[in-house]
Chain A
Amino acid sequence: MNVKADLSRPVVYKPWTRDEIAARAARDIPEGYYVNLGIGIPVLVADYVPEEREVVIHSENGIIGMGPAPEPDKINRWLINASKKYVTLRPGGSYVHHADSFALIRGGHLDLCVLGAFQVAGNGDFANWSKSDNDMPSVGGAMDLAAGAKSVWLLMDHTTKSGESKLMQRCTYPLTAVGAAKRVYTNLSVLDITGDGFAVREMVPGLTFEALQDVTDAPLKMAN
């Protein structure tokens, strides 16, 4: 008999918070990268890139070199990010209009985009814009980013609130892009998407591979 989990010894672990997921992803962004951060957990990544590491953050509404939120008395009311929140421009930053902002995305000039997702599959397909036609489908810049950036990372919860896996064998929601996602940071683990499906690089402390597989629809393997 193949016993996947020893139920007599409950697995005790604490999922990462949204900020911890963002901080974990920020650790992996190399100096010199040009990066776009999507709305949701991804915009939090900006707060966790150490100041001394120069990473240039692009915002789709025409900012190259976006900085953190301003001090309350130093708000530029003409300067917002993709989530419509006030931000700053770092020294060296610049502005472009929308057609140029997306030309640089599609043209392959971004090293990385970090997006949220409803679902991701082991073949790199992912879905983050529409659950149904009744739900105001909202694609924003996600399809352009997924098609244009050199690499796509997804930051998301591992399961829905009701416990269904968001890491799928095949996505069931309408796709944002085919085969584009390269890495996934969830509240339980860090996974690479390889030619051979999900490979687990890291798990939250206390979590076992078997327990992770138990809450994951897609088959997992450990990364080498």
Chain B
Amino acid sequence: MINKIVQSMADALAEIHDGSVVLIGGFGSIGQPNALIDGLIEQGAKELTVVANNAGVGHIGLARLMEVGRVRKIICSYPRTTDPVVFERLYREGRVELEVMPQGTMAERMRAAGAGIPAFYTPTSVGTKLAEGKELREFSGRQYVLEEAFFGDVALIEAWEADRWGNLTYRSSARNFNPVMATAAKLTVAQAQHIVELGALDPERVGTPGIYVNRVVHVPYGEPTVT
């Protein structure tokens, strides 16, 4: 019997090693798997490279992971979000490295990783600092920049419902990066608010099929807050 539901946070985050590349879902605090991030703090892995759209808000979730010194580098599109107090201090003190990536390039590099595409050409960033050192090629009279697939060791994602096969549904704009990150990592761990019987999810509503998911942990916490 396939059963990806794990009973503890320790089981959900077992064998995440120091130096891992960790993809963390969410856009701001919506769809961000804060319970898994707190679990990762407990778990203790350090020297992490974190990939997330933003660089943490206030002192919770991703910001806390940075604050306790576990993050060596963050790759994100938009660190200058509301109240990035922790990141701002660590960045100015030179204690965390920042790589800024255009948001769509970030999403597409992970999509490519999950889809078996080693690299792709995109018009995004042509002629800017973020294309420096990258291969350019012209198609139909327009310049494009070569971007490579981006793989994670681990993806931590947040879902609304899950079954024991790891099929997931999402709420409104909380799906954001979660489905694409789920495809791009060697180990994908989801926290879900509701665990349902196999067959109970409407197949038309499944946002991430279980083939991309390795572990699911039940985290019922209600509604998120924009912090």
A interface residues with partner B (beta carbon < 8 Å)? 59-63, 76-80, 84-86, 89, 95, 97-99, 101-103, 105-106, 129-130, 134-144, 147-148, 174-178
Contacts and interface: CB of A to CB of B under 8 A. Distances in A.
A62 B30 CA distance: 12
B110 A139 contact: no
A105 B104 contact: yes
The listed residue with most B CB atoms (<10 A of its CB), out of A61, A99, A136, is A99
Interface string B64-79: 0000000000000111
A135 B98 CA distance: 12
Chain B binding site: helix, strand, loop or mixed by DSSP? loop
A97 B174 CA distance: 9
B161 interface: no
12 contacts: A62-B176, A77-B225, A77-B226, A98-B27, A103-B104, A136-B80, A139-B78, A139-B102, A141-B77, A143-B105, A174-B128, A178-B128
A134 B87 CA distance: 12
B103 A63 contact: no
B149 to A, nearest CB: 12
Interface stretch (B8-16, B39-47, B117-125): B117-125
Given A95-B173, A102-B108, A174 B28 contact: no
Contacts of B28: 80, 84
A98 B30 CA distance: 13
A177 B27 contact: no
A134 B77 contact: no
Contacts of B226: 77, 80, 84-86
A102 B103 contact: yes
B127 A78 contact: no
The listed residue with most A CB atoms (<10 A of its CB), out of B29, B110, B130, is B130
A98 B172 CA distance: 12
B218 interface: no
The listed residue with most B CB atoms (<10 A of its CB), out of A95, A136, A148, is A136
Nearest to B181: A98
B104 to A, nearest CB: 3
B175 interface: yes
B153 interface: no
Contacts of B215: none
B206 interface: no
A147 B175 contact: no
A93 to B, nearest CB: 10
Nearest to A178: B127
A78 B171 CA distance: 6
B223 A144 contact: no
A144 B104 contact: yes
Given A136-B84, A141-B102, A97 B177 contact: yes
B81 interface: yes
A85 B30 CA distance: 11
Given A98-B53, A139-B101, 15 more contacts: A77-B30, A78-B224, A80-B173, A84-B29, A89-B172, A98-B103, A98-B177, A106-B104, A106-B108, A136-B55, A137-B79, A138-B100, A139-B100, A142-B102, A177-B127
Nearest to A129: B100
A76 B171 CA distance: 10
B129 A175 contact: yes
B88 interface: yes
Contacts of B79: 136-138
Contacts of B100: 129-130, 137-139
Interface in B101-150: 101-105, 107-108, 110-111, 122-130
A99 B109 CA distance: 9
Contacts of A135: 80
Contacts of B88: 136
Contacts of B173: 59, 61-63, 78-80, 95
A77 to B, nearest CB: 4
A142 B77 CA distance: 10
A177 to B, nearest CB: 7
B61 interface: no
Contacts of A105: 104
